[in-house]
Amino acid sequence: MLTAHRHCPGSPTSIKATVVYPATEKHIQKYLRQEVHLIRETWEDYKDITLPFIQSQSFSIQWVYNILEKKAEADRIVHENPDPSNGFVLVPDLKWNQNQLDDLYLIALVHRRDIKSLRDLTAEHLPLLRNVLQEGKEAIGKRFGVPGSQLRIYLHYQPSYYHLHVHFTALGYDAPGSSVERAHLLADVIDNLAMDSTYYQKRALTFPLRADEPLFKKFQEAGKV
Amino acid sequence: MLTAHRHCPGSPTSIKATVVYPATEKHIQKYLRQEVHLIRETWEDYKDITLPFIQSQSFSIQWVYNILEKKAEADRIVHENPDPSNGFVLVPDLKWNQNQLDDLYLIALVHRRDIKSLRDLTAEHLPLLRNVLQEGKEAIGKRFGVPGSQLRIYLHYQPSYYHLHVHFTALGYDAPGSSVERAHLLADVIDNLAMDSTYYQKRALTFPLRADEPLFKKFQEAGKV
């Protein structure tokens, strides 16, 4: 049994694989049955549990930098705003084969390398986020003919990798990770930050974790599950 | 072709049906192909377009009152808090046959009759919302053995009917309407209201509409699509 997780556009280094061989029915059932639970993470939980966990892991995001530096997938770029502070690169997600629009899926990777996730965002990032929303819609409309009103544009929390990125999926596509317990509409994020620059350093955030994920164990150890 | 929409627990009066007979392949395709678009509704849009539309429609919610008054489905009630201001009734949704927990789906209907939707909520409603969250989880844990961390607890905007209600679905169930563009986690709603009592009278809200829905036409006429 090979279960590959590749959430993102990127070089083969972004593949995390769990190989179970030979895979008995029991193995498969155990994998499939892993329970998922919701975590309600306060800002204190983030600082005390999640942030130290992220920092302790050596998540490689070299594949992101390779795209941003045109060392990989340069021919796949749909749009770029090259501004180092407020710019980004828009590429088709590797899950989308581009043969049909039904499951359209693109990713915007920001040029800035200092924003891990939603938790780091403040009003300072509004120009960047507005560029992603506006230019991303325009570029997809131009290239693929899909209007902005038929795009679901959102961030994940927790993200699969800690370099800020935004998902663009076809509204009619029930994309994995587009449920309310993981997705945050970019338009909502922008309005929340415009209303209160420290919104994401105040608000508790919900996200799902499988019971066998290391971060789940950290929350469990802290008595938060 | 009979397409019945019954989003909610309720008496047969809650069924809205569109009968197309005889249904040719063309009719069916037309129905299925109806495009869905996202609306970004500001508070002004709500007051100028959505609210007058809701008020002009005679949406019948008698079936909700029948449940609240025990004239219907009294034997299906899983939990009740009878307080007229801060109480509610919890019933299995009619979409759930209760034979398995995989697609567990319950609905909390509040006793108060003056809250149409998310847009009406203020900090005044926090005790009610906290009761729904806390007691709803406890009752489902007790009756069905599903822990609160495996429940997705949310409101729809737009809702299917304009009497405040909260959805409880199994986290592992990809329930229709649980996507980020329609669902709002109750825990988030509570935190937003605790932070700012007028949050839902300020913030723009996104929701999907089919192009053939009357409210979509209203937004179109106002030049907002």
Which CATH number covers residue A175? 3.30.428.10
Query: Which residues are within 8 A (CB) of A210 and not within 5 positions of it... i.e. 6 or more apart?
Result: A34, A35, A36, A216
Amino acid at B5: H
User: Is the CB of residue B109 less than 8 Å from the CB of residue B67?
Assistant: yes
Question: Torsions phi, psi of B64, nearest 5?
Answer: -70, -45
pLDDT of residue A225: 84
Question: Torsions phi, psi of B195, nearest 5?
Answer: -80, -40
pLDDT of residue B18: 45
Count the domains in chain B. Answer: 1
Residues 167-186 of B with CB under 8 A from A: 171-172, 174, 178-181, 183-185
**Cα A17 versus chain centre, distance:** 18
Q: Could you tell me if B211 lies within 8 Å of chain A, comparing CB atoms? A: no
Q: Strand, coil or helix: what is A148?
A: helix
Residue A69 DSSP symbol: T
pLDDT of residue A60: 85
* From A156, A165, A167, A184, active-site residue: A165
Helix pair B126-144, B186-195: axis angle to 10 deg: 160
Give the catalytic positions of B in this structure: 165
pLDDT of residue B28: 53
With 90 as the cut, is the pLDDT of residue A3 above it? no
Do the domain assignments include residue A65? yes
Per-residue pLDDT tens over the stretch B166-199 = 999 999 999 999 999 999 999 999 999 999 999 9
- State yes or no: is A165 an active-site residue: yes
The lowest-confidence range among B19-23, B67-71, B101-105 is B19-23
With 80 as the cut, is the pLDDT of residue A170 above it? yes
**Chain A positions in Cβ-Cβ contact with residue B180 (cut-off 8 Å):** 152, 154, 178-180, 183-185
Q: Could you tell me if B203 lies within 8 Å of chain A, comparing CB atoms? A: yes
With 80 as the cut, is the pLDDT of residue B26 above it? no
Q: To the nearest whole angstrom, how far is the Cα of A150 from the nearest Cα of chain B?
A: 5
pLDDT band at B12 (very low <50, low <70, confident <90, very high): very low
Per-residue pLDDT tens over the stretch A111-154 = 999 999 999 999 999 999 999 999 999 999 999 999 999 999 99
pLDDT of residue B92: 97
pLDDT of residue A157: 98
With 80 as the cut, is the pLDDT of residue B125 above it? yes
Bond preceding residue A52 cis, omega within 30 of 0: no
Residue A42's closest chain B neighbor by CA?
B191
**Chain B positions in Cβ-Cβ contact with residue A146 (cut-off 8 Å):** none
Element (H, E) at B220: helix B214-221
Amino acid at B179: S
The lowest-confidence range among A117-121, B16-20, B203-207 is B16-20
CB contact under 8 A, A179 and B183: yes
Q: To the nearest whole angstrom, how far is the Cα of B12 from the nearest Cα of chain A?
A: 29
Residue B176 DSSP symbol: T
Question: Torsions phi, psi of A188, nearest 5?
Answer: -70, -40
Per-residue pLDDT tens over the stretch A25-36 = 555 555 556 799
Q: Strand, coil or helix: what is A127?
A: helix
Do the domain assignments include residue A18? no
Q: Could you tell me if B38 lies within 8 Å of chain A, comparing CB atoms? A: yes
Do the domain assignments include residue A20? no
Do the domain assignments include residue A213? no
pLDDT band at B24 (very low <50, low <70, confident <90, very high): low
- Containing domain of residue A192, as a range? 54-208
**Chain B positions in Cβ-Cβ contact with residue A206 (cut-off 8 Å):** 185, 187-188
pLDDT of residue A59: 77
**Chain A positions in Cβ-Cβ contact with residue B187 (cut-off 8 Å):** 40, 204, 206
**Cα B10 versus chain centre, distance:** 13
